[in-house]
Amino acid sequence: MASLFPLGPILSLFCLLPIGAGSSDLPLPTVWSTHYLCLHEVNPEYQAGTRASEYELTARHIQYQLLLNEQGRAIAAGGVAPLTGDPLVGLTILRADSLAQARRWAENDPAVKAGRLQARLREWWVASSQLP
C-alpha cells in the first residue's frame, strides 16, 4: 500500500481544479448536425468465392463508396486497421435525411448485398462547424 500513497495527493490536486479549467477560450457549439456512421464488419458466415470474384466484389464495393462521395451522400469512407477478434473493417460517414435513408444506401453496397460485409448504422451528432 505504501506505493499508492504518493498517488493520493496527486489525485487530490485534480479535485481543486475548476470544472472546465483551460477550456474557457473554446466556445461550446450551438449548432449540431446529424450524420450517420456506417460501420462495415466482416460477416462470419460469408463463404468466399474465387480470388478473382472476391477482387471484383472489392472493386465494386470501393466504386460504390466513391459514388456515394461523388453524390454528396458520403463525407468520407475507408478501411480501418484490423484488430484480432474485431470484425470492423471499415466505415463511412453518411449525410442523409434519416437513419432509414442511410440504411438503404448501406444495404445497396455490393459487398453488403453479397453478404461479405454487414453494415451497422449509428446516428452521429457533430458540431456543424466540424465537417464540410
In a domain, residue 11? The reply is: no
In a domain, residue 24? The reply is: no
In a domain, residue 81? The reply is: yes
In a domain, residue 68? The reply is: yes
118: β partners: 41
CATH number at residue 66: 3.30.70.1060
Per cent of the chain over pLDDT 90 is 73
In a domain, residue 16? The reply is: no
The residue that leads in pLDDT, 67 or 3, is 67
- Could you tell me whether strands 88-94 and 74-79 are parallel, antiparallel, or unpaired per DSSP bridges? antiparallel
pLDDT at 26: 87
- Domain count of the fold of the chain: 1
The whole domain housing 96 covers 29-130
User: For the residues of 9-31, what is the DSSP string, one character each?
Assistant: HHHHHHHHSPTTTT-TTSPPPS-
CA dihedral for 61, 64, 70, 75, sign (positive or negative): negative
33: β partners: 126
Tell me what the pLDDT averaged over the chain comes to.
87
In a domain, residue 59? The reply is: yes
pLDDT in tens, 52-100: 999 999 999 999 999 999 999 999 999 999 899 999 999 999 999 999 9
The torsion angle over the Cα atoms of residues 73, 87, 49 and 57, rounded to 10 degrees, is 20
Q: In what order do the strands lie in the sheet with 32-42?
A: 74-79, 88-94, 32-42, 117-127
In a domain, residue 4? The reply is: no
Give the helix ranges, DSSP H, for 71-117: 99-107, 110-113
In a domain, residue 49? The reply is: yes
